[in-house]
Amino acid sequence: MNKELIEVKEESIIVKKYQNPEIINLPLLSKNKFQDRIHIRGEKLPFIYRRSCNEILSKALDSIGEKNESRGLYIFGPSSLGKSYSIYYLVAQLRLYNNLFRVTYINSCEEWWSSHVDEPYNFLLNELIYTFSNDELSPLTVADWVEFVTQGFTKRLSNKLGELTKHHSNWVEDFKTCSSNSIEERFKTFIIGLRKYVREKKYLWVWVFDQHNALHKYKVLEEYPFTLVKTLRTFLNTIGLIIVSASANDEEYPNEFESWEKFSMYSGYTDDEFLEWCKMRNYKIDSDQQLKSQLDSIRFWTNSYPLELDLWHMTNESTDSLIEKTNESTDDLIEKISKSLNRCVVSMILGSTKPGAIDGMNRQFMYEKSVNEEGYIRKTIAAIHPLAQQAIINSHSEHPLTELKDMVSAVFNKDDRFAELYIKMLLEYTKTLECKITKPGKRKPTVAYDLKFKEFSQIIKFVGNGIPTESFNVEKNVLFLPQSDNYPGVDFLIWDNSRKILFHFKLLLVLLQVIKRARIIL
């Protein structure tokens, strides 16, 4: 790790002013499944030091001081921004560069819950071993405490306590009394013992809970030990700080952490950070303009979100992962919430005013967006980035032909652009088009081309105002969809394999009757 990023002075960390992003290696902090998700290799994590890393560390250090009376710090933002990477960096700094901090790092609440179901307290105990691995607790070591929690008052512990009776008689008697309790009570006794140790040593005990959404998902926030998230800040008081990170997709979070200090993340890589990502993934964009153009498109589709870029890098099919996530989030929705979600998706597709109730909106991938139209402010629903929008639409396959159709029918005569968007969406999902292109005649128009595209074998979306740079099979019919709102003169293009002609289409609808006369069949 590059120690020049911070300065250690008289047992305190001084965060240096952020200058530029750079690639650094962070050490392995603890062994669990989370390491696979963030790509630990050879017990090192290749990592892009970003502005958010600097800001989160500064915020945490401010919260450790007297400025934060709540003793809690809530970090939130959309999924895939790299919050977990920044928090990993924070934990590394606190553990490695200050002997007065003890950091317990629950880096995946999902894994914590899953482990607790199979082996109660095993996950927490492992993390506490890492937290106090360099400490010599007395009269019981951390290993003794773990044995006590998991097995109770064993023969080995009985023999050890027998030797301690002369000097710690009162403590030994209290300890023996606790040994007959449940594993939950024994764990609480362990935590109380650790708190006493931390207070005597004048340490500060930091707890970090990442991926906190899982505890809402499994409805265990009121069950012990998951209640620790709420109770630890009063349990530890001035000798503790609790940091919670979650994706902002649940309205309960702001209420739950209302009194806590907050830090939000809402952006992906900056230009400089994206260049560092290209270096880390060995993309030589300086010498390969075609590759640079491709990566510019990928950057647009992912909004430079670190996780989505990494998914694309690993599989080139990052949309599939997002579709799976959105499908999982809708599997168990009740009918009322499902209908609300459907209306939100329609608003997102058309850019129309948001529905009155948005209870079902997937806040992990969608948000309310304010739109200024000639001084009038209205709100619509938007996706966090284009790739997420595509995944949401793909996971709601019924929209274009049912609810989307009903929604558009109400505005066909009011706003032509809605109808145009509707046709483009149907083109994409039905993958068919039948129309006749006419040319003027003296008496009546004559048919120049009678187009019947039964199925487009490929749909290519592209960004920018230039021509598509993606390669395609000239022996197949291909639909090109510009993603720029102001692409010059064209709404979509079609490569006709049989005629070897690239047709371009501009939709201009005035009245509903015009659509009928145009005989566009989708």
Whether the upstream peptide bond of residue 254 has omega within 30° of 0, thus cis, is no
State how far the Cα of 256 lies from the Cα of 331, in Å rounded to an integer.
25
Topology of domain 3-127+203-264, CATH: Rossmann fold (3.40.50)
3-state secondary structure of 287: coil
Do residues 27 and 105 make contact, with C-beta atoms less than 8 angstroms apart? no
List b or e across 231-256, with b for residues whose CB sees 16 or more CB atoms inside 10 angstroms.
ebbebbeebbbbbbbbbbbbeebeeb
For the chain, report the end-to-end CA distance as a whole number of angstroms: 58
| Pair 434, 477: CB distance under 8 Å | no
Question: Within a 10 A sphere around the Cβ of 36, how many other Cβ atoms?
Answer: 8
Question: What are the tens digits of pLDDT across the range 237-287?
Answer: 989 999 999 886 444 455 778 888 888 888 889 989 999 999 988 888 888
Q: Is 490 left (phi over 0), alpha (psi -120 to 50) or beta?
A: beta
d(Cα 160, Cα 162) in Å, to the nearest integer? 5
Asked if 436 contacts 271 with a C-beta cutoff of 8 angstroms, the reply is no
> How would you class 275 by CB atoms within 10 Å of its CB: exposed for 0-12, middle for 13-18, buried for 19 or more?
middle
Nearest alpha carbon to residue 216 among 232, 236, 230, 201: 230
Give residue limits of the domains in the chain. Answer: 3-127+203-264, 135-199, 267-315, 317-402, 428-518
pLDDT at position 40 is 66
**What confidence tens digit (pLDDT) does each residue in 395-412 have?**
765 554 455 555 555 544
Chain Cα centroid distance, residue 76: 10
User: What pTM was estimated for this model as a whole?
Assistant: 0.66
Query: How much is the pLDDT for 247?
Result: 80
Give, for 338, the enclosing helix (H) or strand (E).
helix 335-350
Q: Report pLDDT for 69.
A: 76
Closest Cα to residue 148, out of 116, 105, 192, 113?
192
* 3-state SS assignment for residue 81: coil
Label residue 127 exposed, middle or buried (CB < 10 Å: 0-12, 13-18, 19+): buried
pLDDT beneath 50: ranges in the chain: 1-11, 249-252, 317-318, 400-401, 411-414, 512, 514-522
Whether a cis peptide bond, with omega within 30° of 0, leads into 139 is yes
pLDDT, position 398: 55
What distance in Å separates the CA atoms of residue 486 and residue 210, rounded to the nearest whole number?
41
Q: What is the DSSP string of 224-271?
A: TTTTHHHHHHHHHGGGEEEEEEEES--THHHHHTTTSEEEE------H
| Burial class of residue 267, CB neighbours in 10 A (0-12, 13-18, 19+) | middle
DSSP letter at 353?
A: B
Counted residue by residue, the chain has a size of 522
